[in-house]
């Protein structure tokens, strides 16, 4: 209870408190324990879902950084191409010693461009790999999110079962729990 005397109960809190205070039948006790276990497992699945989502975002951020670095390299490559073009034009417009100087510059720019291109290609490959890891982590996150949602449904059905005392609803509780656990295992195994 809060300091002001106002407290809001969850759907099955009253039933659980009644069982604790006055004792209850075995059905109610077991369902209360099952609900507590489902809540714990659901919290773990929720944590794992948040973790995999963070990993996906980190990989996506890394991909963006690598793409920016690759773009910078391609801009540098283009600047060297422009300088090479000017040097090639100068070769045709000059002669003698000056022409040889521009021919050497053309060769130097060609070599520099090869190195720049190799670095840009490497950065693009790293960006593509980081994107791939991000997508894989998002798939894992989706499994954890599905598992958490199914366990929340199982908890809600458990509360409804407690309140209505309709035992046939246990099929829904166990079905949602089973599917949730399967989805959680798939998330854990990165399927």
Q: What is the pTM of this model?
A: 0.70
Q: Taking 50 as the threshold, does the pLDDT of residue 1 lie above it?
A: no
**How would DSSP label each residue in 19-63?**
HHHH---HHHHHHHHHHHHHHHHHHHHHHHHHHHHHHHHHHHHHH
pLDDT digits (tens, 9 = 90+) for 116-152: 999 999 999 999 999 999 999 999 999 999 999 999 9
pLDDT digits (tens, 9 = 90+) for 76-95: 999 999 999 999 999 999 88
In a domain, 7, yes or no: no
| 94, two tokens | 């000059």
Q: What does the buried/exposed string (b/e) look like for 3-23 if buried means 16 or more CB atoms within 10 Å of the residue's CB?
A: eeeeeeeeebeebbeebeeee
In a domain, 8, yes or no: no
In a domain, 4, yes or no: no
| 132, two tokens | 């791939």
In a domain, 6, yes or no: no
Instruction: Provide the domain limits for residue 181.
Output: 13-188
Distance CA 150, CA 91 (A): 73
Query: How many domains are there within the chain?
Result: 1
Neighbours of 87 (CB within 10 A): 19
Distance CA 106, CA 96 (A): 16
């Amino acid at each position: 209870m809060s300091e002001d005397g106002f407290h809001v109960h969850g759907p099955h809190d009253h039933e659980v408190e009644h069982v604790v205070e006055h004792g209850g039948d075995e059905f109610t006790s077991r369902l209360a324990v099952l609900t507590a276990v489902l809540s714990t497992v659901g919290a773990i699945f929720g944590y794992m879902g948040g973790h995999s989502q963070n990993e996906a975002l980190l990989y996506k951020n890394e991909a963006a950084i690598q793409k920016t670095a690759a773009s910078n390299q391609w801009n540098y490559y283009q600047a060297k191409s422009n300088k090479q073009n000017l040097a090639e034009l100068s070769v045709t417009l000059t002669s003698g010693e000056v022409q040889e100087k521009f021919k050497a510059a053309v060769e130097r720019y060609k070599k520099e461009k090869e190195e720049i291109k190799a670095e840009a290609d490497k950065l693009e490959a790293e960006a593509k790999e980081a994107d791939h890891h991000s997508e894989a982590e998002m798939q894992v996150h989706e499994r954890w999110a599905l598992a958490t949602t199914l366990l929340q449904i199982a908890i809600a059905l458990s509360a409804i079962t407690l309140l209505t005392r309709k035992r046939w609803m246990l099929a829904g509780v166990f079905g949602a729990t089973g599917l949730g656990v399967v989805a959680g295992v798939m998330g854990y195994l990165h399927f």
